[in-house]
Structure formats: structure tokens, C-alpha cells
Amino acid sequence: MRSLNITLTILLVSVLVTRAQSQKIDSSYANWYYQQRLEYFDHMPPVKKAIVFLGNSITERGEWQELFADCKYPVVNRGIGGDNSFGILARMDEVLRAKPRAIFLMDGINDQFRKLPHEVSINNYRRIIRTIKAISPRTRIYLESALPINESMTSEPYTKGRNVLVPQLNEKLKALAEEERITYIDICPLFQDEKGVLKKEFTMDGVHLKPAAYIEWAAFLKKNKYL
């Protein structure tokens, strides 16, 4: 019976992946801004034993070095505005070249904006995590939840109807963290209301956080001793 269940599970995963691959997947990421940021990272001297914040514009806008100025390890920002799970996966060599002490990985919303099936995003996350384990096995991996948005404050059509997808993605991310035996950090309760919408007091455009919101984010990480 157990072998039958395993076989059925494998078949189901294969069907889901095939279905996802049959859809039109927007896997592009290497726009001019991505290339510019990556060139900057490549020319920076490697920082040993660093704590890396890795992600898209939500990560990039955080002044992590100042927020964790009292940390005994160096803190570096590896966020790129507009990046998605394909782009993060493609730049892992640079992220891992100095064997960081820890990586805080936070992505997801741009995948939703591109209508990427969750199976595709989760597969990319899995590949990112396993790349870290293979190249830098001593690096601690913290997988942070994707943040919700506030569609009443957004104007771009690609943002509409996306917030409902965020909790579904986060459930899959949590399951992936358990599967890969890494730490999952749910930061959504810090910034969302009872309906799962990004609170207006934390955002200026419905997607990105105001600078002061990062103070609460950092305080949460310190309080729970992730750093």
C-alpha cells in the first residue's frame, strides 16, 4: 500500500509539472537593472561569514546594514528590484562565493505578478535551497514568507487578483521548508490585516514597504533570535 501511495504521488507531481511546463512561462529576469546590480555585486570584494538578505525590491529597499549594526557578523544586501525566482537562482554563484554564514531568502510576489504556476516557483525555490546546501553546506537558510499586497492602492493591471495567491504560495513554502529541513519565518502577521491584506500604514504603493516598516521586521528577527 505504501509503495502504491508513493507511486501515485510521483505520478501526481509529474502531471502538475507537465501541466505547468505546457503553459507559457515567463522566465525572463536579465533586464538592464538586474544586470547593473549583478555587475555591482560582482565587483564588490567578497565578504566572509556574512549574513545575506536575498530577494527582490522588498529586500533591496531594506537598510539591513544599519538595522543590524550591532550584529557581530557583517550584513549584506543582495536584493534586486523586479527579480523573481528564476533570477535569484541564476545568480547563486555570486551569492555563495564567500560562503555566507546565513541567508534570509524572501521572494515570491514577482512570480505572482508574472502568473507563474506555484509548482514552477516552488521548484525554483527548491533548486536555490539545494544549491546553497551543495556549495556552502554550513550556511544557515531562513526561508521567509512572501508578503501580501494591497490591491486597492495599486494601479498596474498585473497586480490585480494576485493577493489571494500569496497565502497559497506561503503554505507551499512552509511545506518546502519542512521538506528541506530549514527554518521558515512567517513575517506576514507583522504587516497584514485580518483579511490578509497589506496594511495601508506600512506601504505607499500597495506593494513595497515604507522604510520605517523594516524596523519592525528587524526587531521581529532579533526577538526570535534568528540573528
Residue whose grid cell is 540573528 = 227
Instruction: Inform me whether the pLDDT recorded for 224 exceeds 50.
Output: yes
For residue 132, give the nearest of 174, 182, 172 by alpha carbon.
182
pLDDT of residue 1: 53
pLDDT of residue 23: 57
What mean pLDDT value characterizes the chain? Answer: 91
DSSP H or E segment with residue 104: strand 102-106
146-166 pLDDT, tens digit each: 999 999 999 899 999 999 999
Weakest-pLDDT range from 15-29, 31-45, 124-138, 143-157: 15-29
What would the DSSP string read from start to end of 53-76? Answer: EEESHHHHT--HHHHTTT-SS-EE
pLDDT of residue 55: 97
CB-CB contact of 100 with 50 (8 Å) = yes
Which percentage of the chain shows pLDDT scores above 90? 85
pLDDT of residue 95: 97
* Average pLDDT over every residue of 18-24: 51
CB-CB contact of 70 with 127 (8 Å) = no
Instruction: Inform me whether the pLDDT recorded for 8 exceeds 70.
Output: no
163-190 pLDDT, tens digit each: 999 999 999 999 999 999 999 999 999 9
CATH number for the region 28-223 comes to 3.40.50.1110
Instruction: Inform me whether the pLDDT recorded for 19 exceeds 90.
Output: no
Instruction: Inform me whether the pLDDT recorded for 2 exceeds 80.
Output: no
* Average pLDDT over every residue of 40-68: 97
Whole-structure pTM value: 0.87
CB-CB contact of 150 with 203 (8 Å) = yes
DSSP H or E segment with residue 203: none
Which of the four pLDDT bands, split at 50, 70 and 90, describes residue 27? confident
